């Protein structure tokens, strides 16, 4: 069994290759990529459509989360032996690093792979569609945002529940537990909750107005 930094220590990862990039490098590259994506999502739609500040913020979120789902999580789903990568591929390095907070990724836990697969294949493209729907003022944009947000919340609930049922002992240390396992996933709990509430109110408001008009 090749030595690895993950918990539990008896986890079998034959052929494991340690990270070639430092954690700082991985995080800096991700931060820079995020800034570029969010900046484009903020400025480009406004050149072609009249949108509010809140709509621009929502477009930024949906573009960011959609690309994260499709590219980062999609790589994990379709690269079962990323922990053996010797090329320094950035996406492989991300998952080698993140597995320090949750080794279920390195071991290819079936429940985790299934959740990430649904997220990458369905929620990723749907998020990009949501950004487009907001920018183009499509009538279905609130329903779509609500559906995706509820899917993300369900995914987070299942992600943590399955870990708890297996003993919740997949982090290398307390630092990685809170930095990766808790903090890195928290945006997909907080933001979808807020979007769900907003979308629910908008949908209900639209129907309330419709029914009130019909009552006269």
166 Cβ contact list (under 8 Å, min separation 6): 104
pTM reported for the whole predicted model: 0.94
Question: In this predicted structure, what is the pLDDT of residue 156?
Answer: 98
- Would you state the structure tokens that stand for residue 138, as one six-digit string? 């499509």
Q: How many helices (H) and strands (E) does the chain have?
A: 10, 0
Question: In this predicted structure, what is the pLDDT of residue 48?
Answer: 84
81 Cβ contact list (under 8 Å, min separation 6): 15
Question: In this predicted structure, what is the pLDDT of residue 212?
Answer: 58
Question: In this predicted structure, what is the pLDDT of residue 137?
Answer: 95
Question: Contact at 8 Å (CB) between 154 and 82?
Answer: no
- Would you state the structure tokens that stand for residue 156, as one six-digit string? 């987070």
pLDDT in tens, the chain (216 residues): 468 999 999 999 999 999 999 999 999 999 999 999 999 999 999 888 899 999 999 999 999 999 999 999 999 999 999 999 999 999 999 999 999 999 999 999 999 999 999 999 999 999 999 999 999 999 999 999 999 999 999 999 999 999 999 999 999 999 999 999 999 999 999 999 999 999 999 999 988 766 555 544
């Amino acid at each position: 069994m090749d030595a690895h930094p993950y918990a539990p220590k008896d986890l079998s990862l034959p052929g494991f290759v340690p990270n070639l990039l430092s954690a700082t490098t991985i995080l800096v590259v991700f931060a820079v990529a995020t800034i570029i994506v969010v900046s484009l999502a903020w400025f480009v739609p406004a050149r072609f459509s009249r949108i509010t500040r809140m709509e621009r913020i929502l477009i930024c979120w949906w573009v960011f989360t959609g690309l994260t789902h499709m590219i980062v999580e999609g790589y994990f789903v379709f690269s079962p032996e990323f922990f053996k990568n010797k090329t320094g591929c950035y996406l492989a390095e991300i998952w080698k690093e993140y597995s320090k907070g949750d080794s279920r990724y390195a071991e290819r836990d079936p429940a985790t792979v299934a959740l990430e697969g649904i997220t990458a294949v369905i929620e990723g493209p749907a998020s990009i569609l949501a950004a487009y729907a907001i920018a183009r003022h499509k009538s279905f944009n609130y329903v779509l945002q609500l559906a995706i947000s509820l899917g993300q919340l369900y995914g987070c609930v299942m992600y943590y529940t399955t870990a708890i049922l297996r003993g919740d002992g997949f982090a290398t240390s307390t630092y990685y537990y809170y930095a990766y396992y808790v903090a890195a996933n928290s945006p997909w709990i907080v933001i979808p909750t807020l979007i769900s509430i907003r979308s629910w109110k908008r949908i209900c408001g639209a129907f309330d107005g419709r029914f009130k008009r019909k009552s006269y």
